[in-house]
Amino acid sequence: MKIALAQINPTVGDLRGNSKKIVDFAKEAHAKGADLAVFPELCVTGYPPLDLLENGFFIEAVQHTVAWIAAHAPPEMGLIIGAPILNEGPIGKRLFNAALLLEGGRQVGVVRKTLLPTYDVFDEYRYFEPSPERHIVEWRGVRWGLHVCEDMWNNEEQAPYHLYDENPIDELAALGADIFINISASPFSLGKHDRRNAILREICREHGLPFVLVNTVGANTEIIFDGDSRVHAADGTRLCCAPSFEEHLMIWDWEHDTAPCPVRHDDIEDLHDALVLGIRDYFSKTPVFTKAILGLSGGIDSAVTCALAAEALGPAKVVGVTMPSKYSSSGSVEDSRVLAENLGIAFHEIPIVPAMEAFGGMLEDAFAGTQPGVAEENVQSRSRGLTLMALSNKFDYLLLSTGNKSEMAVGYVTLYGDTNGGVAVLSDVYKTQVYELAHYINRRAGRAVIPENTITKPPSAELRPDQKDEDSLPPYPVLDQILRHYIEDQMELDAIVAATGYERAFVHGILRSVDRNEYKRRQAPPGLRVSLKAFGIGRRLPIVMRWNRDVVREIAEHTEAALHE
């Protein structure tokens, strides 16, 4: 039997476009001799459809779309697609997240998702009812252990704890499955490829069954999907693997394709490709933009963002604008110009000195008797933001925000200035990773696309004379180490101090900066998610709060002392 793994890029809500893509891929699979074509989780609606699932008219349209797919797919082959279906029972959420088996113009099998994630970017229990049972789908003499995405992840034996009581994998194996098939919409994060390898190898070796996984590819707002669809043999060996970050149709011959398929992944290459895909899909799936625009400061963040945008959209669709103030160095303007020439993008120089003089006159009386400080510095950033937004509005440009995760974490950004934009490209990329991306981009191009001076000069916002980032922040390697422990590893103060050896008061100050700047992050554009814990929908903290770790520590110490009295 030949199985087609159809790794497609659906768009959320585009029922017509998604269904046409499914049928086109099915026809191609049939032409290549496939008996069964497998598509990703919720491929009919795109993932995540969020509150579209609460719209009754949308759900009715989904039902008609599934019927259209069944009627137009090659009748001689089977299709497995992902779609929401109605819960016909009187209890529970009104929908199930389901895998549907279609053949000959009709539905011949259905499996409902059991494990509904509600952590990080996921909120599936908001919409779906978990399946009350597991069952085998029998089709063409095979007992298919069909399941949906999260249903395989509770099998990880080495996990320190498990989120769910049920283990659908074990139950399907006990019911006599001949093969596992998982349809997924599993988001990308750095290292995800290795984690998939590990759990699939474990499942196959534990149960002695082959495993087919089909994952969606593409980006929908913040969330990026890498695809990485694959087949593992019963002994865990990976037999074939689709390329990451692109659509692909892969045919696997169950009886004959037994040779292993080695695939190596490099984190910085994956990071680059994920961000390029994120920009491309945000632009193309929101069909209102003519070009992308961004401010070029001569710094590393805007240079890397610009290079990624040129790769994603093509140089003809990227506009760079340098907006010097009286504090901008001539080198920064020249570095921006050289970058634009290297990339072949449109370039404009619009000085903000007149705007600064105008604001100075406007605010002179109100600011009388005060010393210049952060307020005046931020007027520069906001003047640049206003300029870019004016160009964006005038010409239907997508404004790309260039701030990185390190700066966003501690609030080293200006609201309504450098946070302006439709999408924040680097908001989940630490400053140290930005430098790694710059080196990778230049190596990949075989030349210094990003000027060497941009990479080597000390980072600066250039909002006052001789300003350097390290005037306000620790060195980025130090800052990023602490931020990773706090944000992604979810370690607290004492644990970070023990792990790093830094002074407690120093670490405490950084954590306090992170906590105090949630209000800035909440008002920033959506950011492309590439880590296990990104700012935005994956990390939800209150803005108004009185969380004080020192008070909590005192409470714990007093409680402990009282228990021993």
Using 50, 70 and 90 to split pLDDT, how confident is the model at 547?
confident
> Is there a contact between 347 and 367 (Cβ–Cβ < 8 Å)?
no
Compute the mean pLDDT over every residue in the chain, rounded to the nearest whole number: 94
pLDDT single digits (tens) 298-334: 999 999 999 999 999 999 999 999 999 888 777 789 9
Diameter over CA atoms, the chain: 86
CB atoms within 10 A of CB 509: 13
Our CA dihedral for 550, 476, 292, 44, rounded to 10 degrees, sits at -60
Mean pLDDT across 423-444 = 98
The type of residue at 187 is P
Give me the domains of the chain, ranges plus CATH numbers: 2-264 (3.60.110.10), 273-551 (3.40.50.620)
**128 DSSP 8-state letter:** B
Q: For the chain, what's the residue count?
A: 565
Residue 118 tokens read as 């509600």
DSSP assignments along 263-289, one per residue: ----HHHHHHHHHHHHHHHHHHTSTT-
Helix (H) or strand (E) holding 343: helix 330-343
Residue 40 tokens read as 């990703």
What Cα–Cα distance (Å) separates residue 124 from each residue in 48, 64, 81, 540? 9, 23, 18, 16
Q: Which residues are catalytic?
A: 41, 113, 149
Angstrom distance (rounded) from CA 540 to CA 115: 22
Residues 6+ away with beta carbon under 8 Å from 111: 98, 99, 131, 135, 137, 146, 147, 148
Helices (H), 344-416: 353-363, 374-395, 405-410
**Is the peptide bond between 48 and the residue preceding it cis, with omega within 30 degrees of 0?**
yes
Q: Which pLDDT value is given to residue 43?
A: 98
Q: Which pLDDT value is given to residue 251?
A: 97
Pairing outcome for strands 291-295 and 397-401: parallel
Residue 120 tokens read as 């990080």
- Whole-structure pTM value: 0.95
Q: Which pLDDT value is given to residue 563?
A: 67
Burial zone of 375 (CB within 10 Å; 0-12 exposed, 13-18 middle, 19+ buried)? exposed
- On the question of pLDDT at 562 being above 80, the answer is no
pLDDT single digits (tens) 108-123: 999 999 999 999 999 9
- On the question of pLDDT at 159 being above 90, the answer is no
Angstrom distance (rounded) from CA 222 to CA 380: 29
Pairing outcome for strands 137-139 and 78-86: unpaired
**546 DSSP 8-state letter:** -
Helix (H) or strand (E) holding 423: strand 423-424
- 1-10, 79-88, 458-467: segment of lowest average pLDDT: 458-467
pLDDT single digits (tens) 449-493: 999 999 999 887 666 677 777 778 999 999 999 999 999 999 999
What Cα–Cα distance (Å) separates residue 186 from each residue in 66, 117, 182? 22, 11, 11
The type of residue at 509 is G
pLDDT single digits (tens) 20-43: 999 999 999 999 999 999 999 999
Residue 465 tokens read as 């004379």
Helix (H) or strand (E) holding 437: helix 431-445
CB atoms within 10 A of CB 235: 10
- 56-60, 76-80, 507-511, 549-553: segment of lowest average pLDDT: 549-553
- On the question of pLDDT at 559 being above 90, the answer is no
Helix (H) or strand (E) holding 225: strand 223-226
